[in-house]
Amino acid sequence: MSDKQLLHLVIGGELKNVSDIEFRDLSQVEFVGAYANYAEAHKAWKAKAQATVDNAHARYFIIHAHKLLDPSLD
């Protein structure tokens, strides 16, 4: 039995303000990768978040791209 692919993207970079979700410089936003499921995306997100723990403005996000492509998917 194969699991259905549910596309997740991981991106991140420095925010202008830690209390908002606006990047300091969009040209510097890092595309970490595209993943077939949430578990893989979470693993990549966690690694990047831990690697940038000393930078209070650095944030990484998991985008549930499968929901953007087809809102009926969960």
Helix H or strand E segment including 23: none
- pLDDT classification of 38: cutoffs 50, 70, 90: very high
Give me the mean pLDDT over the 21-48 stretch. Answer: 97
Residue 68 has pLDDT above 60, yes or no: yes
Q: What is the mean pLDDT of the chain?
A: 92
pTM, 2 dp: 0.86
- CATH code: domain 8-69 is 3.30.70.2400
Name which residue leads in pLDDT, 70 or 34.
34
State how far the Cα of 30 lies from the Cα of 24, in Å rounded to an integer.
Answer: 12
- The ranges assigned to domains in the chain are 8-69
DSSP character string of 50-68: HHTTT-TTEEEEEE-HHHH
∠ at Cα 58 (61, 48), nearest 5°?
A: 60
